[in-house]
Structure 1
Amino acid sequence: MEYILISMSILIVISLLIKVERLEGRMKYMQYTLDQLANQSEIPEKPINDELRKLIKDGKEVKAVKKARETLGLTLLEGKKYIDRLKFYDS
């Protein structure tokens, strides 16, 4: 009986992980589409980007990630990627 419950639990977890993976893929595609639309329509950047660029320029990347996370509601990984994108596009 215990093996059946453990097996079912493992299958449920695997199913959930697959669904999360698919949702992340969809979100990345949506973000890409939004970025393209913003570039084409010349929507101004987020005002926080200037402050983040200044922190990056001053060598305060960790503070920039923290500020991006607080302001934009990002996870640590998302905040790091956001700052890396700002650095890449500015170089």
Structure 2
Amino acid sequence: MQISGMLLSSGMFFLMFLGMIFLGQLLYYQQHFRFYEEEIYFNEARILRNIAQNNKLENNQTLVLNIGNVTYKNSLYYVELNNGKKYQLDELK
């Protein structure tokens, strides 16, 4: 009886250990995914700013594109993506 109880408890600890490793890997990859997602959104905002700058927006003028809007005010570009992210970018010189 004592051997089967010991086998059961060691099996439970082994499963808990495997679960902790799995959870750690899951959190690690989730953090990397979010970082890359934010980088993609920022690059989209930079692309929209470049398009707006090439179109020579004037002060308080807005350019509406399919992935977001760009407004030019006081030498700054305010980019709002369709997913709700907002960025404030300087002019490229």
TM-score by length of structure 2 reads 0.49
TM-score by length of structure 1 reads 0.50
Structure number with larger C-alpha Rg: 2
